[in-house]
Each structure stands twice: as structure tokens, then as C-alpha cells.
Amino acid sequence: MNINYNDLEKYILVTEKKTETSVYLFLKHRVKISRAFHIWPTWPPGAEQQTVWTRRTSFLGCPAEVLGNASCLKFVISNESRWNNITHQILSRLCGRCGFRAHYLFTCEERATPAPPAEPRLHGFAGVYAMQVLLSRGFSARDQMQSGLYLKLEKLEREEGEDVVADVLYRIVHIMDQNRFVDISKAFDGILSTSDVKLGPQEMSLPATLRFVRRVIVTPTTLFFLEPEIMFENRMLRDYGEEFFLRVSFLDEGFQKLQGGIEILGFVDLEEAIFTRVKDVLNMGLRVGERHYRFLAASNSQLRQHGVWFFAGDGKNTVESIRAGMGDFSGCRCPATYLSRMGQCFSTTEPTVTDVGNKAFEISDITGGYDPVNCKPFCFSDGIGKISEDLARKVSHKTAENQRVPSAYQIRYAGVKGMLAVDPTLQGEVMQYRSSMNKFWSPYDVIEICTTSHPGRLFLNRQVITILCQLGVPDMVFQELQEQRLFELADMFLLETSAAEALTQRAQMKGTPYKRLLKMGVQLTTEPFFHSMLQKIYKSSVGEIKRRARIGIPPEYGRIMLGVLDETGTLEYGQVFIQYTEDIINQDCRFQVLEGEVVVTRSPCVHPGDVRKLQAIDVPGLHHMVDVIVFPSKGPRPRPNEMSGGDLDGDDYFVTWLPDLIFNRANEPPMYFRSPKKREVPSVTINHLIDFIVDYIENDRLGIIGNAHLAKADTEEDGVFSDVCKRLAQKYSDAVDFPKTGVCPDLDKTERPLEYPDFMGKSRDKTTRRSERVLGKMFRECQMIENVCSQVERKGNVVRVRLDDDLVVGGHISYVDQARQSRDRYNDQLRSMMAQYGIETEAEAVSGCIVKLHRHMEDRYERYEIERVAKVRIEDSRKRTREDFFEEFGGEEAIEFHHPEVLGKASAWYTVTYSDPDTKLLSFPWVIGDILATLKITSAARIVFSECPVIDNITRQLASVYSSEDFITATLQALSRHFVDRRRTDLVVQMYVGCYVNVLPLVAFLRQWMTEHKLTQVHNTDLVFIMLAYAVKAGYMVDLGDAPAGVTREWLSLSRENVCSARTVVEYSFDNNCSLGELLVEFFQYISSHAFKESTASVMLGGAHVLLEETSRQNIQIKALRTYHMLSQTGDIREVIDAEAVHAEEEFVAQIPPNVWRNHVKDRLTEVQQSIEQETGAEVQVRRLTGIRGPARGQLYAYGTMDSIRRVQLCMERLIQQYNYRRPYRRGGRPFKF
């Protein structure tokens, strides 16, 4: 049993008795049990014992049913003298360093009483299913089931109906998910007694494209039923309704993907019990109440997430009849292809034009060139057809809110899948699909839309950065792009215009015009609700950059685009046509035709030839194509095919013309991807499909191969050009096609990473090395900023909620009661959605920048879908709430916003939210933010506006903290002591400080900052000199020329008498538009930049210069970067010089690789531990790592300041380099023997 700290709740219960102490740990999900088999290799001589672990679903008489329902672990420790200190050590470790809280209390244990009837006698399926959702929470719920509760539920169903019963049970589940100790019976009574909550189905005016669908997760030990989730509909849900469908996912206990056996030392870790369960569920189905759900099919995207569709016969339809109605798949003899064809019917689509039969025609494909691997011509038109402008216009009108007719559509029609591009030469309403698009016959005569061409933001990712960097793009290009994005995020807190822009881009909401609110005097950076959204945008964006290197390219330099074909035959091989909408948000603006070099690729890109440098040209005959990339229809090979085997059936292409990303070298030869021979059978049956699904789940290696490639690309000397990376690129392609071919690739020993770069964020049981390539540098910088964000959150720096008097008017009183009812209804819906998805804060839900979801929703694809659905639900709730506001006035169009009654009601909505001391939800009144903006300008005597209120506050703090007589005197005395050396730079500092007396508070702050951050290697006045040089260059100060040879008159005057009374001093002032706080913030942004760190030129001022050593610049830059982001988020200079904050301790855990463990550590644990502690200053523990597969290895645990942890990381890197891997499974080209 191996449990990570993250698998546990952050509280511990402790019960002390005379003879023993009981410690209770609470699990977030069910435990995983494994059994160890120890193996001794026979070669080489003296090889150490190795371990193979095999999963089990029961142990020591504890059956799977118990493991699947248990959520608490109890440890009993004897109070005998030899064990006396163990309990204290365990709790000190957990609470002191791991963030747990221990609660000492008396507990009384009782054996479960005989169970009441298995379930209440409910007649409606909605209540029956909801009961299963509650019971699947394990013993926490099951042990509270009793006859009295069942009788209450049965009575409630008779009186209120099944939907109310279901709603009550789901609300109890939400409460249990937040508090496992809840008394279910009391919770039931409390929900029914709440008068302001309307029970039953939520009122939603959701688009017709969304449906509520039930879902269950099958794990090795339990069935985890979920509340019906909103999802985008597909053909099957439209035809048969969602009531009898069930989504089924096969996941491990922690809701990660199930993984099959891995060969170690010739043995395969077969987890037969796990996959036997998967097959049994697929074969036998699931029974819920009187319904019997059976396996139906699976979509391609669903299968990649290890999910399938089940259906329960509804008296009219069965799984057999539904399959028969999908179409004719008899031509498919490959089970994988058969399932893929069925999966087309489950693609997320929106229906448009019907009765298309006489308008749709099949045309031939365009072929050319020669594929030497598959020995046939290439298909240039693979996956793309044409549509006339008339039919495109008709399709566009059927889709939701399209402002203009798109140039291309990804579609499903009958058995056709792929793209349709608008062709102005086609007359009337015509659709032409190509032979490569027609996958099977189907009677379904509707054009369904998956997506359309539109302006799309472009983001870098780890794969693209890895290849571009190794194609010759300098590291600094990516580091500066990341730096620019991180500075933009910090600017959100400092500049009102940046805040408005960020909110508009990331959290655009109807009724909340951020820029107008700002213009009317609402300060977005300090208003509590908007500030909370800025914090979530910041945290979400920093997390995406850290984990995925997701860095946006400016829209004027790159887009994500659908690929289409040049039907005119104008483009030559190597040319493309690109026309894009200039403004991504306002799509009614101008178009821009691009000319020049562009870099194009698609995801995934794993081979250096996947990234192509092409020439964009202007083709007047293609000007009807907008926000797509047009590829040529001729040449030796289709350009999309050169990019990891892409085609034109809906692939998104990465397109950038940012000059810094255009590599100088020629394109690398693209890879020729072989098509694996499909596994076929004479006639496909359901058993074949089930066998394939089990095989796919057991052997899905796509993520493993992708991670192996990323690791090898970083650690191999030749990177992506190495042989191992090229082999992995081919295997990755095969893994992508596994759902279509049934052929699964696997890794051989040379392809499995022995170590992973730190930027991959691998768990503690993996050997991790500090990456010195660009992704490693970017990761560590971003990790430091994320730590700052976490530190700010732990301190609870929140903006205090207080009423804006300008938004409170006398006429609001009569609307207060009505406003409370509307607020409570809105908040109840918001809380319900947050509880269903595990969203922790209102700001995340409203902004869409969701940091954390329920664990079973954290898969990237599922997270993307949930974010889309949550956005629609929020928009729906806001729309209905807004309609509720205007209803009594005859509707929004019937009355002016400045009408006194409208303003009075708006004021009531604001007041009941912001004056309630218990409220934690603030978004309600901003549903009518446009009216509040009108109210603000109407009520305010004058608009008091500051472009940067946070910087103004910093200026006030500098004045209040560092302008005191004691501080100024101490600063002057300290500077005088440093000036004894009469360095030229000191004379310059004298001259400027003597003339600009108002800079002294900043000088005092800088000195204290250097002291707290222990920048002892930098002369005390050198950083002041650099700051003054920056101030002159940035226009804060005028250039005073060369400094005199001696002490200036102004300095003597300052140093002889207190500055507060020294009015004879010549004092220059900053520009009227600038402030001391602004200078401080800008200066720290400068010294935290890569431009400062990499600068090798001297800083010049007043005839003197300063040249810092490289290590000094690096140290200053790291400390300044942390300070700058702390300052931007808190707006408090005290936070960046607070000793506790500056020297906050961090944890670091690393695995010690087998060779290092065996050759250097194993026999000298204490010596190694003490040596690292002395060198780094951190507290270090070294031990053998248990519960792992393969050869023995160790684990290093360190605890200390940021600087000491960084030294530990460097120390570990040296050890690994010194005792580098010699592969343990090969010697002299001869395999090991056992």
C-alpha cells in the first residue's frame, strides 16, 4: 500500500489512550494494493535484488468490497517506551512540513448495525439513480443509511416527485464531498427546511446542443456513480434522447488511467484481475434499479479517455437496433476501424441543414507524388471537400450566433467526415465530398457541424519549443516570450488598463463592460470581485506556462488555423495562402493577407521534420478564404502529410510569422510514416469490439511514448535528431493510430527513460534531473513565481469588501427584499455548479480560469469539455438573472438604463451583496454591471480615477515607512560610511541623492531589501547607482553630467543636518506624471529581466560605471523576479522585505538513481547526508526508497530556504553526473541472464 501525501485530506484525528495511540488518516480516494515479488538477476555477478509489483484488489482477508468503500486508515501505535516517540515524530513531520492539522479528540468506535433494506422503495428512476450516487461515496454514506431516512425519502417522492428526491440527494452528495463527517439525516432535514431554495430540476435555458447525461466510473474495486453531467450532444442523443444512455469510464482508484503490465527482468507485471473486471463489465453490463445498461459503442475521443457508451433498453430501442440504425459497417473487417466508424455517430456536433440528399455529391480525390513506404500515390485532398456559398450561408444561419459566413466547416454527414471549404465557383446549394471522406453508408441526411473556421489564439507548447530550439532558434527567444507574458500578468494588478484588457480576453461576460466600468471610475485592480478574478487568471496562466509551456504568441504574429486545399491549383509546393482577421475579439474588423516566411506545424509534433518553414504569398483567387491556411494541391508530397502525417479532415495548424521563431536552417527531411497492417477478422462481432477495447485500455501507451520522447529529446546529446527520438516519433504515430488499426506499439529498454528532466514534473518515484535546456530554465523560473503565488494565497492577502458609496442611492430600499431573493436564487445555482465540478472559488467559475476540479475530471480533454460547459452554464444563469431584473420594467429594450427605478433596483442588488457580512459570493450585482456603470457616473460628484492605484499605494507606503527621520538619518549615515572609499560611483550617488532628496526613501528600501535577501556579494551602493542610472534613462531624473571630484555641497548639507529641515538643499522633482512607487516597480521589473541578467555591458552614469559579475547579476535577477511578482500581487512593500516571507522554507524531494545509490550513497548514508547539509544549509534526510519496481534506489528529502534548496538541486545534479548511468541490462552487447 503506497499512499502519497496528496492522496490524503489535510486533517488527522488522534485519540490517545493509556496503552496505545490511534491515528486516523482520511483518503481522498480508494487505496491501491500491490504485492511484491523479489527477483535476483544471475548476471552480472553480485547484481542486487530487484522488485516486481503486481496489483491486487484484496489482501489479508480484506475483500475488494471493503477496499472500494473505505475512506479512512487507522494506525494504532503502542505507548510502550520503545515506541513512545514515534507518534510525536510522525505528527510533527506531517503537521510541521506537510501542511496537515492534527485534532486530538476522544472517539467511540461502533460496529455497523444490521443494514436496513438495501435501498429505499423509490419508484422513479431519477431518485433510484441519485441514491446510487450517494451510496457510491462509500462507508461514509452507507453506514448512515437507516429505515427512518428511507421512509422520509419515500414520503418525499410521493408528495413532491422523483426530481425533488434526486435534487435533495445530490445536494447531500455535494455537502459530503466537502465534509465527510456530515450527518446525512440532519442534512436532509436542513435542505427541506431552507425556504429560499427551490428544489427540483434546475431552471436552465440551455442551448439545444447540451444534454444531461448520467455517468459511472468503474474502478478495480468499486462503481463510482456521478450526478448527471451536462455535455454537448451528438447524433445519437438527438435521435434517441439522453434518458437511457450512460457514459462509462474505466479508471484506476485515483481516477488516473489504468495501465497494463510492464516487462521487468523478463517478467511481466500482469494485472489480470484489473482487466478481467473491465471485460466483465463490458460483457455483462451494469444494473441500476430495474434498468440493465449494456455496452453500445465508443467515440474516438471517448476511447482515448478509456470511456464507452452504454444503453438501457427503453421498450422500443435496444443496443442492437441502435447499432443497426447507425449505418452499414459490414465492409469493416478490423474491429478497431469498425468501432471508429461507429464512433463517428457520437462526435460532438450541431445539426444544421436537413434533406441534403439531392445537394450532396461525391467527387474524386486529388492524388499525386509517390509514397515510398506504402507504395502508392499521396492523396492531396484527404479529408476535404467543397461547399457553395449559398449552402454555406444556409448552414451558417443554423449555427449559433455566427457573425459572418465561415470559410470552412468540419462536418459529419451520413457516413461522411472531414472538412468543407467554401468554393465561390459552385452555383446554388451544393456540397461536394470526396471519396476519402466517405467512411460508410448511413441514412442520416443532415449536415452536422463539429467546428468552423474562426480567429484562434496561438500558444507555444513543450513539443514545439523543443523542436524549434533544436532547429536553431535561440533559447533566449523563448525565455523572453515567457518573461513578456509573465510581466503582462503582473501588470494586471498594477495597471487598470491592463486589468480591463485581461478581463475582457479571459472573462468576457455580457452585461459586464470592463472598459466602460473603468472609464466610469470603478477601479478593477482594487474592487474585490474583479481583483479575485485577476488572481485566478494569474494563477491559472502561470500554472499553464509551468506545466505545459503554454505561452501565447501575439495575435499579430501567429494564429491557430484549420487547414484547407487550394482548389484553384495556383499555389506551388512550398507556398501557402494565409488571410486572417486582425482583431480576434472583434471579428467585424479588417482582414490581413500575409506575405513572407512562416513556420507551420501541427500537434503532435515529435520529429524535426514536423516543423516546416513555408512561404506565404498573395493569391487574389483565394481572398474568399479567411482564418484558414491554404495548402497547395500539387507537389511531390502534401504539405500537411509532412507534418506528423497530417491531413485536411479538421486538423488545427500552428502558424506563426514571428521573426524570432523563423529558423535559419533549411527544413529537415520529413518522416515517412508507415501504415501498420490492421488486425482483421472475417466478420466483426460485439465480442471482437469488447476484446479490442480491453486490449486498448491495457496497452494504451500514447502518453508513455510521448513522455519518453520529451525526456529523451532533453537528455540525449543529439536531442530530437537522435536515433532513439526518431524511433519514438514513429511509435508515437503508431500509438495515435492504435484506435483505428488495433496495432499497439511498445517501448524497448533503450527507449524507456532512466531519468526525467525536472520540467516534466514527475512524481517522487521517478529519477529527476535538472534540465539545462530551455524548457528546464523556463520551468524553474515559472516554478519560483508559482511559489510566490502560493505564498500570497497562504497569507490570505485579500481585498477588503466594502460598499462603494457612489453605488448606493436612496431609492434602493424598496427593492431590497426582492434583491435578496434574486441573489439567493443566483447564488444557489452558482454553488450547485461549483460543487458538482469541484470548483473552489466563485472567481474561477465566473472567469473560466478553473485551477482545480474534482479528481475524476482532471484529464486534459475532460477539463477542456467541462470548462466549455461551465462557461455555457454561467452565461445561461447570468442571462436569466438579467432577464429577471428587467422583467418588471417590460424587458431590457423597453426602458432606459438611467431611469431612477432601474438605478434604484441596481443599487439594491449591489447593496444586498456587498453589505452582507457573511457573503463570500460577489458576482451577482455585476450581472448588470452596465447599469452599475451608469449609476456610478450618475451618483459620483466627480470621477476620481487612478490608472495605477496599487502603485499609488506603494508610493504612500514608501513615504510613510521610509521617510521618517530615523530611517533617513540611518540611510544617510550608512551611505556616508560607504563613501569613505571615494569611488567614482559613490560620488555619482552623492550628487544625485543630494539633488533628488525625494529618492531617499527608495534608497533606504533598496538597502533593506539587499540586506534581507543577503546580497552580500554586491557593493551596497552599486545597486543604488544602477537604480539612479535607470531613473535617468527612463526620464525620472535629468542627466546631471559628470560628478565632481569631491563631496558635493548638497551632500554635505544632507549629511550634516536632518533632511527634513535641510531646505537649503537643491531638490529636483520627478516628472509630474511619475511617482516614487512607479520608479520602484519599473526598476524591479528591469533588474528581474533577462536583459539585465544577460547584459555584459557596464552601467554608465555621471562619468562612472558599474559592471556586476555574472553570478551577482543572476542572484539579483532571481531575487528581484520573486520580489516583483510578490509586489504586484500584494501591493505591499512590507511583504517583500518581511524576513518570514523572504526566507520561507520549501520542500524538495528527489529520487537517487540506482547507480548513484549503489556506488556512492548506500553504505555511507550519514556521511552523505551531513556533507550535503554542510554544503547547502538545508536540512537533509537520505533513505532507501521502498515500494518501487526495478533496482534498488534511494530518496533524498530536503527542507530549507529557496537558496538552500537550489544548492541541493545543484549538488544532486553533480552526484548524478559523477556516477552517471551505465545501463544495468546490457554488458558488452550481451543481454543479462537470470
pLDDT digits (tens, 9 = 90+) for 334-389: 999 999 999 999 999 999 999 988 899 999 999 999 998 888 999 999 999 999 99
Mean pLDDT, rounded, for 947-954: 90
Grid cell in block for residue 576: 501557402
Residue pair 836/174 in contact by the 8 Å Cβ criterion: yes
Q: What is the pLDDT of residue 1057?
A: 54
For range 941-963, the mean pLDDT: 83
Interhelix angle 984-995/965-978, nearest 10 degrees = 160
- In the prediction, which pLDDT does 1229 show? 36
Q: Residue 292 belongs to what H/E stretch? A: strand 291-297
Closest to 93 measured CA to CA, from 23, 32, 26: 23
Rounded Cα distance between 367 and 1119, Å, is 59
For the cut 70, the answer to whether the pLDDT of residue 441 exceeds it is: yes
861: helix, strand or coil: helix
- pLDDT for res 1060: 45
Please say if the pLDDT value at position 1062 is more than 50: no
Q: How confident is the model at residue 233 (pLDDT cuts 50, 70, 90)?
A: very high
> Helix 162-178 and helix 816-837: axis angle, to 10°?
70
pLDDT reported for residue 346: 96
User: What pLDDT was estimated at residue 1051?
Assistant: 65
Burial 1040-1062 (b: 16+ CB within 10 A, else e): beebeeebbebbebbbeeebeeb
Q: What is the pTM of this model?
A: 0.90
The tens digit of pLDDT for each residue in 103-116 reads 888 877 777 665 55
Residues near 521 by beta carbon (within 8 Å), at least 6 away in sequence: 806, 936, 937, 940, 943, 944, 945
Q: Which residue has the higher pLDDT, 569 or 1012?
A: 569
The pLDDT value recorded for residue 1153 is 84
In this predicted structure, the answer to whether residue 164 has a pLDDT above a threshold of 90 is: yes
Any idea of the CA torsion for 907, 912, 913, 918, to the nearest 10 degrees?
A: 160
Q: Taking residues 601-620, report their average pLDDT.
A: 96
- Strand 652-656 and strand 596-602: the pairing is antiparallel
Q: How many other CB atoms are there within 10 angstroms of residue 181's CB atom?
A: 8
Q: Which of 784, 779, 786 is nearest to 478 (CA)?
A: 779
So what's the pLDDT on residue 265? Answer: 47
Give the pLDDT score at 116.
55
- pLDDT confidence of residue 975: 78
Where does 459-475+555-661 sit in CATH, by number? 2.40.40.20
Residues contacting residue 289 through CB under 8 Å, at least 6 positions apart: 125, 128, 129
Neighbours of 752 (CB within 10 A): 14
With cut-offs at 50, 70 and 90, classify the pLDDT of residue 305. very high
> 3-class SS at 120?
coil
CA 92 to chain centre: 33
Give the whole-angstrom CA distance, residue 1233 versus residue 44. Answer: 8
Cell of 60: 489479508
* Residue labelled with grid coordinates 465480442: 687
Phi, psi of 243 (to 5 degrees): -55, -40
pLDDT tens, position by position, 711-720: 999 999 999 9
Q: How far is CA 258 from the centre of its chain?
A: 22
Name the residue with cell 447524433: 235
Beta carbons within 8 Å of 947's beta carbon, 6+ residues apart: 495, 496, 497
List 602's β-bridge partners, or say none: 653
Q: Write the burial class of residue 453 (CB in 10 Å: 0-12 exposed, 13-18 middle, 19+ buried).
A: buried
Paired with 418 in beta bridges are 411
Percent of the chain with pLDDT over 70: 91
Grid cell, residue 891, equals 424587458
Task: Please classify residue 971 by burial: count the beta carbons closer than 10 Å to its beta carbon, then call 0-12 exposed, 13-18 middle and 19+ buried.
Answer: buried
pLDDT in the model for residue 914: 94
pLDDT surpasses 70 at 1093: yes
Q: Which three cell numbers stand for residue 883?
A: 432577464
Q: What Rg value do the Cα atoms of the chain yield, rounded? A: 33
> Are 425 and 391 in contact, with CB atoms under 8 Å apart?
no
> Three cell numbers at 546?
509551468
Give the C-alpha separation, 242 to 311, whole Å: 9
Judge if the upstream peptide bond of residue 63 is cis by omega within 30 degrees of 0: no
β pairing state of 50-56 and 33-39: antiparallel
Looking up cell 538477476 gives 41
pLDDT at 401: 59
User: Is pLDDT above 80 for 1067?
Assistant: no
Query: pLDDT band at residue 916, thresholds of 50, 70 and 90?
Result: confident
CA–CA separation, 225 vs 702, rounded Å? 28
On the question of pLDDT at 654 being above 70, the answer is yes
The secondary structure of 1074-1127 as a DSSP string is --HHHHHHHHHHHHTSHHHHH--SPEEETTEEE---HHHHHHHHHHHHHHHHHH
For residue 1161, pLDDT beyond 50: yes
Average pLDDT over residues 475-486: 97
For range 930-936, the mean pLDDT: 92
What's the pLDDT band for 271 if we cut at 50, 70, 90?
low
Cross-strand bridge partners of residue 1199: 1147, 1179
Inter-residue contact 320 to 689 (CB < 8 Å): no
- Residues 6+ away with beta carbon under 8 Å from 1202: 784, 787, 1122, 1144, 1146
For residue 1059, the model assigns a pLDDT of 46
Q: What is the DSSP string of 975-1027?
A: HHHHGGG--HHHHHHHHHHHH-GGGHHHHHHHHHHHHHTT-TTS-TTHHHHHH
Identify the CA nearest to 991 among candidates 1021, 1015, 961: 1021
DSSP string, 897-963: TT-HHHHHHHHHHHHHHHS-TT-----GGGGGHHHHHHHHHHH-SS----S-HHHHHHHHHHHHHH-
What is the predicted pLDDT for the residue at 1141? 57
Angle at 1008 between CA 1023 and CA 1084, to 5 degrees: 50
Give the pLDDT confidence score for residue 996 in this predicted structure.
Answer: 87
In single-letter form, the type of residue at position 1202 comes to M
Q: Predicted confidence band at 470 (pLDDT cuts at 50, 70, 90)? A: very high
Q: In the chain, what is the straight-line distance between the N-terminal and C-terminal CA atoms, in Å?
A: 28
| Sign of the dihedral defined by the CA atoms of residues 859, 865, 871, 872, in that order | negative
Beta strands 72-78 and 20-27 are antiparallel
Closest CA to 366 of 389, 352, 384, 348: 384
Q: Which helix (H) or strand (E) holds 578?
A: strand 575-581
Q: Are the CB atoms for 389 and 426 separated by under 8 Å?
A: yes
Residue 38, classified by CB atoms within 10 Å of its CB into exposed (0-12), middle (13-18) or buried (19+), is exposed
- What is the number of other CB atoms lying within 10 angstroms of the CB of residue 786? 17
CATH number given to 1144-1227 = 3.30.1370.10
**What is the arithmetic mean of pLDDT over 988-1005?**
88
Q: What is the pLDDT of residue 1026?
A: 95
666, burial (CB in 10 Å: exposed 0-12, middle 13-18, buried 19+): exposed
Stretch (H or E) spanning 1200: strand 1194-1201
Mean predicted confidence (pLDDT) in 396-425: 90
Q: Which of 901, 899, 883 is nearest to 891 (CA)?
A: 883
d(CA 628, CA 634): 18
| Least confident stretch, 266-280, 469-483, 995-1009 | 266-280
At 1065, give phi and psi (nearest 5°).
-70, 140
CA distance 653 to 559: 8
pLDDT of residue 571: 98
Segment 1073-1089 shows an average pLDDT of 91
Question: Bridge partners of 577?
Answer: 630
Flag the least confident range among 1-5, 572-576, 760-764.
1-5
DSSP symbol at 1042: S
Top pLDDT among 424 and 968 is at: 424
Average pLDDT (1005-1014) is 90
Give me the chain's average pLDDT, please.
88
Place 1218 in a pLDDT band, splitting at 50, 70 and 90.
Answer: confident
Confidence of residue 146 (pLDDT cuts 50, 70, 90): confident
Alpha carbon of 490 to those of 540, 627, 1204: distances in Å?
13, 31, 27
Q: What are the two backbone dihedrals, phi and then psi, of residue 86, each rounded to the nearest 5 degrees?
A: -65, -50
**What 3-state DSSP class applies to 995?**
helix
| CB-CB contact of 463 with 364 (8 Å) | no
pLDDT confidence band for 1228 (50 / 70 / 90): very low
Secondary structure of residue 589 in the 3-state scheme: coil
